[in-house]
Chain A
Amino acid sequence: MATFNKVNQFAEDVYEKVHNLGSDQLKVALTNTAPVATNSVYTDLTSPLATTNLSGATPFNVTTSSSAQTSGTYKLVCADLVLTATGAVGPFRYIVLYNDTPTSPADPIVGYYDYGSSISLANGETFTVDFDGTNGVLTHA
């Protein structure tokens, strides 16, 4: 499974009322150019793919299942996201998780997954962004 890398700014944004991960709309962005730790918002990304040739009205929207702490450990749990191609999609290697709700800063990045090599989808193929179910996208103790 790809490793999750948080971006530096997220560590500050979490403590300065930028995110409400329990109800904000999280989204993914697909890019073939490596994000760097100093990227902080969606517009910092290089050539993120459009939703062209992906099925569904909002193919990049992530479903949050749980955002809660227990005994001081916070965990964000999201459902896997299945992208279904209706034509050629890609290539992309990095899946970036960002928050689409805040407007200042707009679309702050949480972090990204590196899948190790570029991926392209043909018509009818699917790609699952594995958020690792109840193990969570991220935890904070």
Chain B
Amino acid sequence: MRTERIIAIEIETKKAAYHEAAPTMTAAEQKAASDEIKGLQQELCDLLSEGAKPCPLTGDKPIGMKVGKGVYEVGPITSNLRARGETAEEAVEKWNKGEYFIKTEADQEAVKAVTTQALN
């Protein structure tokens, strides 16, 4: 299996090449390069959220991302629920246990909605 580091380096390399060539690319070439980069980004998101349960609010699969040095986050793009950890595995573990990360009012509302759903 490809590692986070290998995928991240590949994204960086492909993106730099795309950035350089974009002004002279045809629309079809731009689309192909863009699709390739997005595919790699998805691969990384999938790797960093491996083992995560679907979102209890939307049922959607969460994505994983490194939000900073030693900070990983797991959450779907369709709700404000998210969990954080020092590793991707820890973030997934917290997500699966329902130990959500709360920073904003929207996060708070999302967690409240999960609690309400569980009570009903």
**B38 A1 Cβ-Cβ under 8 A:** no
A-B contact pairs, 24 of them (CB 8 A): A22-B34, A22-B37, A22-B41, A24-B22, A25-B16, A65-B44, A66-B45, A67-B38, A73-B78, A75-B77, A77-B65, A79-B66, A80-B67, A80-B68, A82-B68, A82-B69, A103-B23, A132-B104, A133-B65, A133-B75, A133-B82, A134-B62, A134-B74, A134-B82
**B34 A20 Cβ-Cβ under 8 A:** yes
The yes or no answer to A117 lying at the interface (CB within 8 A) is: no
Chain B, residues 1-36, CB within 8 Å of chain A (1/0): the string is 000000000000001101100110000001001100
**A70 B77 Cβ-Cβ under 8 A:** yes
Binding site for A on B (CB under 8 A): 15-16, 18-19, 22-23, 30, 33-34, 37-38, 41-42, 44-45, 60, 62-63, 65-69, 71, 73-78, 80, 82, 84, 103-104, 106-107
**A68 B77 Cβ-Cβ under 8 A:** yes
CA distance A75 to B62 in the complex (A): 14
**A66 B63 Cβ-Cβ under 8 A:** yes
The yes or no answer to A100 lying at the interface (CB within 8 A) is: yes
Chain A, residues 34-73, CB within 8 Å of chain B (1/0): the string is 0000000000000000000000000000001111101101
Q: Across the interface, which residues of B come within 8 angstroms of A20, CB to CB?
A: 30, 34
Name B23's closest neighbour in chain A (CB-CB): A103
Candidates A66, A70, A75, A103; contact of B41 at CB < 8 Å: A66
Candidates B19, B45, B106; contact of A135 at CB < 8 Å: B106
Chain A, residues 76-105, CB within 8 Å of chain B (1/0): the string is 010110100000000000000000111110
**A134 B77 Cβ-Cβ under 8 A:** yes
10 shortest interchain CB distances as A-B pairs: A134-B75, A23-B34, A23-B37, A65-B65, A103-B23, A133-B73, A80-B68, A75-B77, A80-B67, A25-B19
**B68 A70 Cβ-Cβ under 8 A:** no
Q: Across the interface, which residues of B come within 8 angstroms of A65, CB to CB?
A: 41, 44-45, 63, 65
CA distance A136 to B106 in the complex (A): 12
